[in-house]
Structure formats: C-alpha cells, structure tokens
Amino acid sequence: MASTTLSFILGAVPVLVFLAALRLMDGYRLVSLRLVALVIVGGGLAAWFCLSASVSLWWLAKDSRLSVYWLLPLLEEVAKALVVLLLFWRHRIGFLVDAAILGFAAGAGFAIVENLYYAAVLEPMPVAVWVVRGFGTAIMHGGVTAIFAVLTQLLTERNRRGLRYCLPGLLLALCLHWLFNRFYLSPLAHTLVVVATLPALLALVFLRSARAMHHWLQQDLDSDLALLHLIQSGEVGRSRTGEFLDDLKRRFEGPVTADMLCYLRLYTELAMRAKGVLMMREHGFEVGGGEGLDSRLAELRYLERSIGRVGMLALRPLLGHDWRNRWQLRLASSLDRG
C-alpha cells in the first residue's frame, strides 16, 4: 500500500512535470509563471466544487454507474471549461501554444486537488492505483482540457465569438473523458495510451502554432511599420488608410479624429514593441518591456475612453482582429513585469 506522502507525490508530481515541459517547449514564452499558477488554482477550485457537488449527483442519479461514468465527467469537463473560457474572455489566449499550456494547467490543477483529496480521505491504496491516477487520470484531465482550449482557439481565431464555438471542444473532451473512464483495456493500458499519445499530439499543436506565430509576426510587423511610417511622415492622406481616416473626419468631430490618430500611432508602437520582444525570444534573447511602458498603456486607455465605443468600432478595420488586439495589449502590459 502507498503511504500518504507517496500518494501525494504520485498524484501531483507527474502532471506538474508534464506542464513544466509544455512551458519549456514554448520558445516565445507567451505564458508567465504567475498566470500558470493562477490557472492551476482555478482548476483546483473547479475540482473542489465538483467534489462538493458529487454527493448531490449520487443522490439525484440513484445509480452509481450513471453518476460515475456519465454525470460526473460532464460536471468536471464543464467546470474546467469555465476556467478556460474565463481566460478567453480576459484575452489571455492568443495562439494555440498558450491555449494548450493554459488548458493543461487548468486540468492539472483540477487533477492535483482531486488526487490529494482522495489520498487524504480514502483508505491507503496500492502503488499501482496511484501510478494510474498520477500518470493516467491526472494527465488525462490536463490533456482533454488542453484539447478543449486548442479546438476552441482554432474555431474562434478568426474573430468569431459565441458559446456555440466552444461546444465542439467540450464535446470532444467529454467523449475522451468518458472513453478513459470505461476502461475497455486495463487501467494500466489506458495510462500507457495517454502517456504515449498526448505528447505527440501536443507537439503537433506546438509546431503548427509556431508556424502561425512566425507568419503573424512577419506579416503584422510589416503592416505596423508601414502604418507608423505613414502617420509619422504626415502622408496618411495619400494612402488607403488616409482615405479611411478622411471618411472618419466627416463622421466625427475634429478632437475625436485627432485622438483616433494618436491612438493608432501609440497602439502601433506598442504592438511593434510586443512583436519585437517575441522575435527576440524566438532567437533566445530575453528582453524587458523598456521604460515608460506603464505611462503609454495608461495614455492608450485614456484615448480609448475619449474616442468612445462607437469611435473604437469605426477604427476596427485598421486594427484587425479585436481579440488579438486585446491579446497584444495584454502581452505589452506584461513586458515590464518580465
């Protein structure tokens, strides 16, 4: 039988090591340790809620098999998905890499609290059981939540938002969870399948995301440079951007139009700074955000309030994807914190 200490170790360490390996694979270092820790806590809170609600489910279902095999996995996947959806809502996810890392972190936090709870309240179980729970169940929780986050990011990366775009990922995560719980093979065989397939799947996700990131950096940086040159040279009126701004001048008052131009310049400078830092990280260099970043972000927020919601909507064609704009600003605001 495994001691309580060994149960704690087997229940928590494997999934944390897997999560650390995922973060090390991210050459751009998109996700801070602080955010990962917060998401782990969020996943843990989701687990605590599910453990508390499981008693009610058992009572309502009147059937232990219905509760264990069907209702509990549904509750658990919805709870973990809510943690990930909060990250999307807060514009913390911009690419597949951070979707995978943060999704796995939410599942890891869930699994750790669940395993520690069982280790504390249940009778001592064989070491083999904790090997299955630590390397199988825990990594399954992280993996299916990562899959949910990745699929949701894929379906919403073209600036589409809505709960219906989250349903395919949730359904897939739920089916994988149900399949794992059925133990069509032995528990150890299920664990080996998880350990063998999940790293390969996430490696493909990271490869695709790295290509998308590289393409986005090059394409958007060129666009940002061109726009900034037009604004600084005073030749905006000779471009399609200038024609668009001329149209805005006829629709908005002069001070608002001036604020729009200032917003475009400042936003473009911050976006270029964020992209520059990512490109430096891609080549192995670590750089900070530089001086005056807080004041620039404060000025940007002031201009956004001054322009107003209607004006910001009018600027959207020049800024591109709204969700990625927010993600860029989140990234820029984190640069001064490292």
Domain co-membership, 255 together with 114? no
How high is the pLDDT of residue 59?
61
Last residue of a domain, which of 196, 211, 226? 211
CB within 8 A of 233, min separation 6: which ones? none
Q: Is 221 contained in some domain? A: no
Residue 34's pLDDT is 93
Do 169 and 46 contact (CB within 8 A), yes or no?
no
pLDDT at 29: 80
Residues 198, 89, single domain; the answer is: yes
* Whether residue 306 is found in the same domain as residue 157: no
Domain boundary (154, 179, 211) is at 211
In a domain, 131, yes or no: yes
d(CA 287, CA 80): 34
Whether residues 30 and 134 share a domain: the answer is yes
Are residues 204 and 324 part of one domain?
A: no
Phi, psi (deg, nearest 5) at residue 62: 60, 15
Of 142, 147, 136, nearest to 104 (Cα)?
A: 142
Q: Which two tokens stand for residue 201?
A: 């799947």
Residue 277 DSSP symbol: H
| Domain assignment of residue 56, yes or no | yes
Q: How far apart are CA 192 and CA 265, in angstroms?
A: 53
Same domain flag for 9 and 133: yes
The tokens for 320 are: 């591109």
Cβ-contact 309, 276 below 8 angstroms: no
Q: How far is CA 245 from CA 195, 248, 258, 279, 281, in A?
A: 54, 5, 10, 31, 35
43: its two tokens: 């996943």
Task: Provide the number of structural domains found in the chain.
Answer: 2
Among 175, 130, 113, 112, smallest CA distance to 148 is for 175
Assess whether 197 and 139 both reside in one domain: yes
Q: What is the pLDDT of residue 266?
A: 84
pLDDT of residue 152: 94
Which pLDDT score is estimated for 149?
96
Return the pLDDT at 269.
80
Cα gap 242→265, rounded to integer Å: 13
Whether the CA torsion 18, 110, 82, 74 is positive or negative: it is positive
Q: How far is CA 289 from CA 30, 271, 275, 277, in A?
A: 14, 12, 11, 8
pLDDT of residue 238: 57
SS3 244: helix
Binned average pLDDT, 10 residues per bin, the chain of 338 residues = 80 94 85 94 97 75 63 93 94 89 98 93 86 93 97 80 86 93 79 90 86 72 70 61 70 80 82 77 64 75 85 76 67 59
- Same domain? For 330 and 265 the reply is yes
Domain that holds residue 59: 4-211
Q: Is the pTM of this model over 0.85?
A: no
- CA nearest neighbour of 319 among 248, 250, 268: 268
* Domain contains 223: no
Nearest to 109 by CA among 23, 227, 16: 16
What per-residue confidence (pLDDT) applies to 60? 60
Q: Are 104 and 95 in contact (CB under 8 A)?
A: no
Domain shared by 185 and 249, yes or no: no
Report the distance separating Cα 2 and Cα 309, nearest Å.
59
Residue 202 belongs to some domain of the structure: yes
**Torsion over CA: 91, 94, 98, 104 (sign):** positive
CB 293 within 8 Å of CB 259: no
Q: Where are the alpha helices (DSSP H) in 125-186?
A: 127-131, 138-156, 167-182
Is residue 187 one of the residues assigned to a domain? Answer: yes
Same domain, 203 and 238: no
Structure-derived torsion over alpha carbons of residues 73, 79, 80, 83, reported in degrees to the nearest 10? 170
263 in Cβ contact with 307 (< 8 Å):
yes
Rounded to whole angstroms, the Cα distance separating 321 from 209 reads 17
User: Does the residue 104 lie in any domain?
Assistant: yes
Residue 249, in any domain of the structure: yes
- Give the pLDDT confidence score for residue 125 in this predicted structure: 85
Residue 128 pLDDT:
87
Statement to judge: residues 153 and 80 lie in one domain: yes
CB-count burial class (<10 Å; 0-12, 13-18, 19+) for 240 = exposed
23 and 167, same structural domain?
yes
Whether the CB-CB separation of 229 and 264 falls below 8 Å is answered with: no
